Amino acid sequence: MKTEFSLAQLADPDIAEADKILRACVHCGFCTATCPTYVLLGDELDSPRGRIYLIKEMLEKNRPPTPEVVKHIDRCLSCLACMTTCPSGVNYMHLVDQARARIEKDYSRPLPERLLRAALAWVLPRPGPFRAGMILARLVRPLAALLPSPRTASATPTSWRRIKAMLALAPGRLPAPGPSGGSVFPAEGERRGRVALLQGCAQQVLAPRINQAAINLLTRHGTEVVLVKDEQCCGALTHHLGRDDDALARARANIAVWLAEADRGGLDAILVTTSGCGTVIKDYGFMLREDRDFAAAAAKVSALARDITEYIGGIDLRPTQQRGDVVIAYHSACSLQHGQKITQAPKELLSKNGFVVKDVPESHLCCGSAGTYNILQPDIANKLRDRKVANIAMVKPDMIAAGNIGCIVQIAGGTSVPVVHTIELLDWATGGPRPGLN
């Protein structure tokens, strides 16, 4: 794609990066076929190619974002299916990240939406307030029926509709909190490795059982696990809301505490059980490339970051019994398959450890979770969830496995089949408790 940035514009490293990305696009349109919003809405401007044109216009002309641009960028899930499909290697992720940051800086949203976004950006990364918010949401959920509802589903939802979606996502009950930062779990027997395990923010409130399963499995197989003190949310949630100052501050804080831990006790890896977070941590090196004080450290942290299944793939697991009678539908989280290009390892681990693993039809399509997307764009998100659940039902599973808490919550909202994390199943196969019973 031909671009017309001026030399002065190209002096800005972000614009230079956007220029490189835009020039790689040959506007072939292959990406449209796998884009969930194009598949659902059929509008070119809700396809990757359409969005690329909108972003190009906005950046090239240095124009403030128009409501039209904001509408179509907001509808993008950042699922990155387009990056998997693109034959030219267009880095849509870095382009749309830049567009979201520009929108956040230069566009004035209606006040109720600004307040809702600010509340999400403040509450979600903080486990204490998030827990309190979930309890409050559960209490006021019966009142949700009194909130005004649009007659038809809309691709531009009202604030009431978004609040209703948020209340609907609150769980019936919250589990007790898991172990706190600073905890160390020694390896059983001879120590073969030492890792930090990302505590996560929403996940540690909604499903501490996931990291517990990871700790159980790792320590059982000779890996010491550290929950690093003073670790924060990885920044993914605010990054996807375009609030880059917040996201980068969190990245810097995490880099400092993780590398201090690595200096103190050694770290073979920083393990992540939420693939949405893993994708962003692996991108810290890029996000902080212009920060003289942090660029090298950020690259080091990105190189240490591993999805839990990547690390487990290098361990000789010792299954205690075969689960050949349990059929697992493997839901490939977008952040894992498109963001990190991890597609086979989780399925191979499950089959090697005795489960019958089934691929889900249309597995490239997002389930609609996508960070805060299922709150901010609930009608599109619900359609994607229903489509995902219908596809999953076709393989008649006993359980559904996924590697991302957002997907687990989203899919569980549309099915009675237990939805569990891949690591919970692997823990079960190697001596841990059966998941999906609570």
Q: Minimum Å distance from CB 347 to ligand SF4? A: 22
Please report, for residues 43, 45, 314, 326, the alpha-carbon distance to residue 74 in angstroms, rounded to integers and kept in the order given.
Answer: 14, 12, 39, 39
Closer residue to ligand SF4 in complex, CB, 378/432:
378
Asked if 28 is part of the footprint of ligand SF4 (rule: CB under 6 A), the reply reads: yes
Q: Minimum Å distance from CB 279 to ligand SF4? A: 12
Out of 18, 54, 69, 80, point to the residue binding ligand SF4 (CB under 6 A). 80
Contacts of 65 (CB under 8 A, 6+ apart): 58, 73, 99, 102, 103, 106, 107
Q: Minimum Å distance from CB 32 to ligand SF4? A: 7
Binding region for ligand SF4 (CB under 6 A) out of 14-22, 29-37, 314-322, 402-410 = 29-37
Closer residue to ligand SF4 in complex, CB, 78/204:
78
Out of 18, 22, 36, 269, point to the residue binding ligand SF4 (CB under 6 A). 36
Amino acid at position 101, single letter: A
| DSSP H/E element including 311 | helix 308-312
| Exposure b/e, 2-19, CB count within 10 A at least 16 = b | ebebeeebeeeeebebbb
Query: Which residues face 359 on adjacent strands?
Result: 330
Out of 5, 18, 40, 48, point to the residue binding ligand SF4 (CB under 6 A). 48
Q: Minimum Å distance from CB 75 to ligand SF4? A: 7
Out of 3, 30, 137, 188, point to the residue binding ligand SF4 (CB under 6 A). 30
Tokens of 158: 């009202």
Q: Minimum Å distance from CB 46 to ligand SF4? A: 8
Asked if 31 is part of the footprint of ligand SF4 (rule: CB under 6 A), the reply reads: yes
Give the footprint of ligand SF4 on residues 319-358 (CB under 6 A).
none
Asked if 82 is part of the footprint of ligand SF4 (rule: CB under 6 A), the reply reads: yes
Q: Look-up: residue for tokens 């670790």?
A: 231
Query: Do 175 and 207 touch, CB atoms closer than 8 A?
Result: yes
The Cα–Cα gap between 375 and 30 comes to 29
| DSSP H/E element including 241 | none
The Cα–Cα gap between 396 and 392 comes to 7
The Cα–Cα gap between 163 and 137 comes to 10
Closer residue to ligand SF4 in complex, CB, 27/192:
27
Closer residue to ligand SF4 in complex, CB, 3/232:
3
Give backbone dihedrals phi and psi of 76, rounded to 5 degrees, phi first. -70, 135
Amino acid at position 78, single letter: S
Helix/strand/coil percent split, the chain, to 5: 55, 10, 40
327-330: strand order across its sheet:
356-359, 327-330, 399-402, 419-421
Binding region for ligand SF4 (CB under 6 A) out of 21-29, 232-240, 295-303, 352-360 = 21-29
Asked if 51 is part of the footprint of ligand SF4 (rule: CB under 6 A), the reply reads: yes
Asked if 49 is part of the footprint of ligand SF4 (rule: CB under 6 A), the reply reads: yes
Closer residue to ligand SF4 in complex, CB, 82/420:
82
Asked if 29 is part of the footprint of ligand SF4 (rule: CB under 6 A), the reply reads: yes
Closer residue to ligand SF4 in complex, CB, 35/123:
35
Asked if 92 is part of the footprint of ligand SF4 (rule: CB under 6 A), the reply reads: yes
Asked if 432 is part of the footprint of ligand SF4 (rule: CB under 6 A), the reply reads: no
Asked if 20 is part of the footprint of ligand SF4 (rule: CB under 6 A), the reply reads: no
Residues near ligand SF4 (CB under 6 A) are 25-31, 35-37, 48-49, 51, 76-82, 85-86, 88, 90, 92
